Amino acid sequence: MQLGVWGFAGAFLGALALSAALTPLALRVALARGALDVPGEHKSHTSPVPYFGGLAIAAAFTLAVAVAAVIRPPVNVEEILVILGVALALSVLGLLDDLRGLGPLVRLLAQTGAGLAVWAVGAGTVFAPWPWLNLLITVVWIVGVTNAINLLDNMDGLSAGIAGIAAVAFFGIAAVNGQFLVAGLAAALAGCAFGFLRHNFHPAKIYMGDAGSMFLGFLLAVVGIRLRLVETPQVLSVFVPVLVLGVAILDTTLVTVDRIRYGHNPLRGGRDHVSHRLIAIGLPVRAAVALIYAAGISLGWLAALLSRLDLTSGLMLVGFVLAAGVFAFALLATVPVYENSRQRRRMMRLVDESDDGGAA
C-alpha cells in the first residue's frame, strides 16, 4: 500500500473524519439498546455511560483502509485481509465481553489465535534464528500488547490518546524506513483513535469498551511487529516498538506485579493503574492524562531516534530508557492504592470524576 504523502494524509484524515462522525451514531444506538457501562465495585465512574465507541473505531479504520486499497491496490492483499479480519473478529469478541462478560480465558484463547494468524500470514517477527522462537515471540507480543492497551482503558481519553500517539510514532518510523504498508495502517489507526478521542476525552460521552481497546491493541501490536528496520542494528530494532508502546507496557507490568505483591487477583480490575496513582498524589484528572500523553510522545521520539542510531549509541539510549522506566516503576509502586490511607481515600474521591469505564 504505497500511498505517498498525500495518500497517507488521506488515510489519516479519512479515518479521523469517519471516526468522529460515526461515534455519535454509535452513542445513539447504544442508548437506544441500553448498552451501558454501569458503575460497579471496581469501576470509577458514578453514572452509566454508553458503549459501542469501539464499533465506530473499527468501522472507521475498515472503511479508510478499504478506500486506500481501492485507490492504490496493495501487493500483499492476503496479509491485509487476514489482519483486518482478525482485528474485526476481536472487536466483535470484545463487544460480547462488554455486553455479557466472557471471562479472561476466552479472551486469552482468542488473542492467542490472533497471534497464530499473524504468524501464519507472514507478519510475525523474524529476528530469532529458530522459527519456533519467532512464533512464540509473535504470539506473546500480540497477546501482551492487546491486553496492555485494553488495561490502559481505565480513564477518560487515556487508551485512545496513547493509541493515537503510538500510531503516529509508528507511522513516522515506518515512512522514513520505507515500510509503506505499516505506515499506511498506522496513519489510518492514528486517525480513527484521534477521531474517537474527541468524544472520549474527560468528561467522556462514550466508551470504546473492549470492542475498541482490543481492536486498537491488536493492530498496534501488528504494526509494531511488522516493522522491518533493515538499516537499524537488529538488537536495537527489537526495542523500537517496545519504546513506542512503553507507557502501556509499564502500566500493565506495574499493576500485575503490585496485584500479585498485595495478594490481589491480577486478572481482576482495580483502581491501581498509573493514572489512578497520579491522581492519588494530587494531580487533577486531565493533568494526569496529559502527563501520560507526554510520556508517550517522549517515548515515541526516543524510539524514532533509536531507529537511526549506531549500535553503541543505541545501546546507551536503551540503557537510559530502561533505567528511567525502572525508576518510574519504583516511584509509582510507592503510591498507596491498596491500603486504607488518606491518599487512597482522596484517590477514590477524585477518580470518581474521571474514568473510562475503568477498571481493567
Which tens digit of pLDDT belongs to each residue from 22-45?
999 999 998 988 878 676 555 555
Q: How far apart are CA 251 and CA 149, in angstroms?
A: 9
251 marked ligand binding residue: no
Which tens digit of pLDDT belongs to each residue from 173-208?
999 998 988 999 999 999 999 999 999 998 889 999
Q: For residue 301, how far is the Cα from the chain centroid?
A: 17
Confidence (pTM): 0.90
Under 8 Å between Cβ of 343 and 280: yes
- Answer yes or no: is pLDDT of 294 > 60: yes
Q: How far apart are CA 141 and CA 138, in angstroms?
A: 5
Nearest to 248 by CA among 157, 169, 145: 145
Under 8 Å between Cβ of 131 and 331: no
Nearest to 60 by CA among 187, 157, 155, 201: 187
Which tens digit of pLDDT belongs to each residue from 341-359?
444 445 455 555 555 555 5
pLDDT at 322: 97
Which tens digit of pLDDT belongs to each residue from 58-103?
999 999 999 988 888 777 888 999 999 999 999 999 999 988 888 8
DSSP for 264-306? Answer: --TTS--S-SHHHHHHHTT--HHHHHHHHHHHHHHHHHHHHHH
Q: How far apart are CA 54 and CA 60, in angstroms?
A: 10
pLDDT at 343: 46
pLDDT at 341: 43
- Would you state the cell numbers that stand for residue 123, as one nine-digit string? 507478519
210 marked ligand binding residue: yes
